[in-house]
Amino acid sequence: MARIEIESDVTGTVWKIEVEEGASVTEGQTLIILESMKMEIPVLASDDGTVAEVMVEEEEPVAEGQVVIVLDA
């Protein structure tokens, strides 16, 4: 089974986590919503899979390129 690391596209703060570990997701589904410069930025699944690990918590700051979710595909 392939592991896919989903990274943040921007530096910001985790506003809302839309999925939990064990959830099945489809390509393009919103996994996390980040807040950056007063804008909501969705982090999307790059492939179909199952959420193996959520690497962040709500209100946690994240850096561009930081792994926020790991999927098993």
CATH number at residue 41: 2.40.50.100
CA–CA dist 63, 73 (Å, integer): 25
Residues belonging to the chain: 73
Overall domain count for the chain: 1
Question: The whole model's pTM is what?
Answer: 0.93
Which pLDDT tens digit goes with each residue over 11-34?
999 999 999 999 999 999 999 999
Residue 58's pLDDT band, with cuts at 50, 70 and 90, is very high
Range of the domain at 40: 3-72
CA distances from 24 to 1, 6, 15, 37, 38 (A): 14, 15, 21, 30, 30
pLDDT at 72: 97
DSSP state of 11: S
Checking if the pLDDT of 1 tops 90, the result is no
State mean pLDDT over 40-65.
98
